[in-house]
Amino acid sequence: MAEFLHYAVGCMFGRYSLDAPGLILANQGETLADYLAALQAKGVPEPSFPPDADNVIPVLEGEWFPDDITERFRRFLAVTFGEAKLRENLDFVEAALGKDIRRWFTRDFYDYHVRRYKKRPIYWMFSSPKGSFNALIYMHRYRPDTVSVVLNEYLRELIRKLHGERARLETLSDDASASPSQRTRAMKDVTSVIRQIDELTEWERDVVFPLAQAKIEIDLDDGVKKNYPMFGAALKPIKGLEAADE
């Protein structure tokens, strides 16, 4: 089942397609235009499950973005096996995994991917120090402006949404019409949200913003071992990355 979800992520990035066998996007710098051209060459005028447009897929514990990895997987299941069977198939997948889809993607997917690729992952996880923000990119589709997309379209947007959630919770904690348990829970949640905002604001300032300005170029021929460390604390650490290739 983990392999099936891993294949689904490949379809989300355009590495694979439901409409054609084999690799579709597997060369450096390829784009959605290349994906569509490759499918048309195989006699597929329109993809049944289009890949992510900007090569950034949020992997978050909360439902902050409508195009996060969990929602994309639900759409993938609906396209693959039919909308009518979506709930049944989700239940089947989650029973096989032993946990819900969102928890598996946020807690298990990247470790599975790193093991599967022997510590040379092709999907890279931008991850804040305490994991309040995570987003995947496909290294073959990486461009010098990819970090700017992560920063402006996702990280800053999440910080903005967290500020809104903080305001909502603070209002609830002072709402006399709310139950005591609701107010207590709101006060606890405010503390958690403030910690997330502080973590992400510092990470944005010290790590992600400077990287976005640097517009780093990578060369796939240099391999993951050389390219991955160029992004420092922006990417999730991989224990053993520095080891010799097998």
Q: 224-238 pLDDT, tens per residue?
A: 999 999 999 999 999
- Other Cβ atoms less than 10 A from the Cβ of 123: the count is 21
Mean pLDDT, range 195-205, rounded to an integer: 98
Confidence class for position 213, pLDDT limits 50, 70, 90:
very high
* pTM for the structure as a whole: 0.94
pLDDT of residue 173: 87
pLDDT of residue 246: 53
Q: Is 35 exposed, middle or buried (0-12, 13-18, 19+ CB in 10 A)?
A: buried
pLDDT at 240 > cutoff 90: no
pLDDT at 12 > cutoff 60: yes
Residues 6+ apart with CB under 8 A from 79: 18, 48, 49
pLDDT at 243 > cutoff 80: no
- Tell me which of 68 and 182 has the higher pLDDT: 68
Give, in order, the Cα–Cα distances in Å from 14 to each of 55, 60, 131, 239. Answer: 9, 21, 26, 27
pLDDT digit string (tens) for 31-58?
999 999 999 999 999 999 999 999 999 9
pLDDT of residue 245: 60
Ranges of H-type helices in the chain: 2-13, 32-41, 69-81, 86-97, 101-107, 109-116, 146-149, 156-173, 180-203, 209-214, 223-227
- Other Cβ atoms less than 10 A from the Cβ of 142: the count is 20
Q: Dihedrals φ, ψ of 137, to 5°? A: -130, 160
Contact call for residues 173 and 183 (beta carbons, < 8 A): yes
Q: How far apart are CA 16 and CA 64, in angstroms?
A: 26
Q: Is 43 exposed, middle or buried (0-12, 13-18, 19+ CB in 10 A)?
A: exposed
Confidence class for position 177, pLDDT limits 50, 70, 90:
confident
Q: How far apart are CA 106 and CA 108, in angstroms?
A: 6
Residues facing residue 124 across a β-bridge = 137
Does residue 58 sit in helix, strand or coil?
strand
DSSP per residue, 174-207: T-TTS-HHHHHHHHHHHHHHHHHHHHHHHHIIII
pLDDT at 202 > cutoff 60: yes
